[in-house]
Amino acid sequence: MIPSMKSDSTSAESTKPVTGLFQEPAGHPMYPFIVLDTETTGMGPSARIIELAMVEVNHGKVTARWEWLINPGQHISSFITRLTGIDDSMVLEAPSFADIWPEVERIMTGHWVVAQNASFDRGMFRNEWKRLGIRDPGWTWLCTVRLGRRLWPGLKSYSLSSMARFHGIRNPRAHRAMGDAETTASLFILQTDTFIEKFPDKSLQDLSKFQYGKVDENRPLPATVARLKDLVSETFPSSAGVYWFEDTHGRILYVGKAVDLRSRVLSYFTGRHNQSSKNLKMIRLARQVRFAETQTELGALVQESRLIKQYQPPYNRLLLDYQSYPFLKLDRRHPFPRLEATRHLNDRSADYYGPFASSFHAGAIHDWMLDTGWLRPCDDSTFARGKLCTYYSLGKCPGPCAGEISKEAYGERIDVLAGFLSGENRALTDSLNSRMQEAAANEQFEWAAVLRDRIRELGRVFLYFNRANGLTRQSLVVKHPRAGQQEAFDFYFIRFGLLINHGHVAGQEANREFELQLSEFREMVASQPPPDQFGPEAVDEMRLVLNWLNLHRKELEILL
């Protein structure tokens, strides 16, 4: 696709470098800025830009627009397609980033760059520059998230959609680069208006420093807040546990966890310039703060999650609900099973593999299996018709509905897939590697690159997934030595991914105390069968336990 350039100005001057950048004439101040937005193939360092939109803003209005679809040279996943509407076919004939860079660089000359969550877009550009061997041109970046936090304190969220909704700005093309760039431009114009109004003695050149500015720390604490600080300083221990703030009616406002309770909770009353507006408001409402020791870090993490679900504190937004994590399901009762992504573990006869970190990870494997054509993708009602469909003609189905593959041969594929999902074999990734090498040998380099990226993507997914799958299928005894403390360690007893018991032992009797606890755990494992199914609260706890074990894996000793 040929990149398009559209301008709202009839004058050619609208695309020329701006001179006198920070002269602010009477009336609306000058905005020598380019507001940009990118859509990408993912979030990591290997992700590529697939769409770029830039909006020039001068004197409080949009004066020019540019947008490009970009061929990333790698596969666009179905998740990204669902989010943005951009698929592989749309960028097949589009220019590469290298093709459009000279024009982008020319347009950027003499402008500052503005973006929502600018660190992400800046990171994407730096990765593209690095691939091309281009030095960072040293643009000055402004972030509308940072500016929003300082100019409009107290908002519940500083996401693009939340700020736009708060200010009555519509974005009919959300998650497309031009729609998001235009919305960001509208917000930025409002932010600069607010800045000039609040700080009439400053110029727009001060925005760069302002976005990293601090709040005055010299103001005395209110009496109620000072009392809470003294309470924490005098009574809280320097050990692991959970804490919670209560309002004047005893309602729990917020629950948190800490390895060092005293240090963590005191941080709410110091360094106020680093506190979010949400935390500052919560502290002003709080009239009491309490704690409960858990002895161990993982114990505090699990207890925090349980308390949040139980009391639903208004200032805990991220963990209020049990997350419904995705699994992959194989139901072998059907003669020709299909692989399904599901968030419900309610079929005792089916095999489940997971939990996965996100629907993106589960979807990556599901979509890959669809692309390979190993298994049927259709639902049972379509299969029952007994007619070959489009999937077969595209090579994405072996055609069991019409007898194109025998039940025995299909069953062998299911066995290989089950072994792959259980981490017992590498047959499918080996097959993918062979296809990549064959494509490269035939000089089909673009397809080989797609296969290479798919192998890397699956490798990242399975590095995490194999740990999760193993954790939910066995019992673990974990020792976590305390740094700098001899004969002292935390212990965790984990069964089917759930934390059954935990504690801390120290001194000469540490091993004897641990062995007594371990003996009781082994008796429980031997006497209690595994549950038929796991509810959402159990799956949520599995994820917490797995994440913690993964984070500390180099420090842990696994005994069982």
- Residue 96 CB neighbour total at 10 angstroms: 16
Q: Is 180 left (phi over 0), alpha (psi -120 to 50) or beta?
A: alpha
Tell me, what DSSP letter sits at residue 340? E
Q: Reduced to 3 states, what is the DSSP secondary structure of residue 220?
A: coil
Q: Is residue 218 part of a domain?
A: no
pLDDT of residue 214: 60
- Cα dihedral 74, 75, 80, 84 in deg (nearest 10): 70
Residue finishing a domain among 210, 239, 267:
210
Q: Is residue 317 part of a domain?
A: no
Within this chain, do residues 168 and 245 fall inside the same structural domain, yes or no? no
Q: Burial level of 106, CB count in 10 A (0-12/13-18/19+)? A: exposed
Q: Are strands 141-143 and 112-115 parallel, antiparallel or unpaired?
A: parallel
Residue finishing a domain among 412, 436, 463:
463
Whether omega for the bond prior to residue 355 falls within 30 degrees of 0, making it cis, is yes
- Residue 186 CB neighbour total at 10 angstroms: 21
Tokens of residue 105, six digits: 């660089």
Q: Is residue 469 part of a domain?
A: no
- Cα dihedral 194, 198, 202, 206 in deg (nearest 10): -50
Within this chain, do residues 458 and 502 fall inside the same structural domain, yes or no? no
Q: What percent of the chain has pLDDT over 70?
A: 81
Sorted by sequence, the CB contacts under 8 Å of residue 328 that are 6+ apart come out as 339, 340, 341, 342, 352, 353, 354, 356, 362, 365, 366, 421
Q: Is residue 403 part of a domain?
A: yes
Within this chain, do residues 547 and 416 fall inside the same structural domain, yes or no? no
Tell me, what DSSP letter sits at residue 93? T
DSSP H or E run through 244: strand 241-246
DSSP H or E run through 113: strand 112-115
Within this chain, do residues 422 and 392 fall inside the same structural domain, yes or no? yes
Residue among 461, 441, 543 nearest 77 (CA): 461
Residue 233 to residue 262: CA distance in whole angstroms: 7
Residue finishing a domain among 163, 182, 210:
210
Within this chain, do residues 332 and 453 fall inside the same structural domain, yes or no? yes
Within this chain, do residues 228 and 357 fall inside the same structural domain, yes or no? no
Residue 484 to residue 258: CA distance in whole angstroms: 19
Is 295 within 8 Å of 239 (Cβ atoms)?
A: yes
Residue 207 to residue 203: CA distance in whole angstroms: 8
- Cα dihedral 402, 408, 414, 416 in deg (nearest 10): -130
Q: Is residue 404 part of a domain?
A: yes
Q: Are strands 241-246 and 252-258 parallel, antiparallel or unpaired?
A: antiparallel
Q: Which CATH number does the domain housing residue 196 bear? A: 3.30.420.10
Q: Is residue 385 part of a domain?
A: yes
At residue 60, φ and ψ (nearest 5 deg) are: 80, 15
Within this chain, do residues 353 and 440 fall inside the same structural domain, yes or no? yes
Query: Which residue range(s) make up the domain with 480?
Result: 475-558
Residue 448 to residue 153: CA distance in whole angstroms: 49
Within this chain, do residues 99 and 184 fall inside the same structural domain, yes or no? yes
Query: Which amino acid belongs to residue 211?
Result: Q
Within this chain, do residues 49 and 71 fall inside the same structural domain, yes or no? yes
pLDDT of residue 324: 56
CA 110-112-115 angle, to 5 degrees, is 145
Is 499 within 8 Å of 492 (Cβ atoms)?
A: yes
pLDDT of residue 6: 42
DSSP H or E run through 327: strand 327-330
Within this chain, do residues 18 and 60 fall inside the same structural domain, yes or no? yes
| Number of domains within the chain | 4
pLDDT of residue 122: 94
Within this chain, do residues 534 and 408 fall inside the same structural domain, yes or no? no
Q: Is residue 216 part of a domain?
A: no
Residue among 414, 437, 429, 422 nearest 460 (CA): 429
Residue among 69, 79, 7, 74 nearest 38 (CA): 69
pLDDT of residue 167: 87
Residue 245 to residue 289: CA distance in whole angstroms: 4
* Residue numbers in the chain where pLDDT is lower than 50: 1-31, 215-218, 320, 322
Query: Which amino acid belongs to residue 10?
Result: T
Is 374 within 8 Å of 397 (Cβ atoms)?
A: no
Q: Is residue 321 part of a domain?
A: no
Check the CA dihedral 293-258-324-545 and report its sign. Answer: negative
Within this chain, do residues 42 and 65 fall inside the same structural domain, yes or no? yes
Residue among 496, 499, 494 nearest 533 (CA): 496
Tell me, what DSSP letter sits at residue 207? H
Count Cα neighbours of 126 within 13 Å in the Cβ-side half-sphere.
Answer: 11
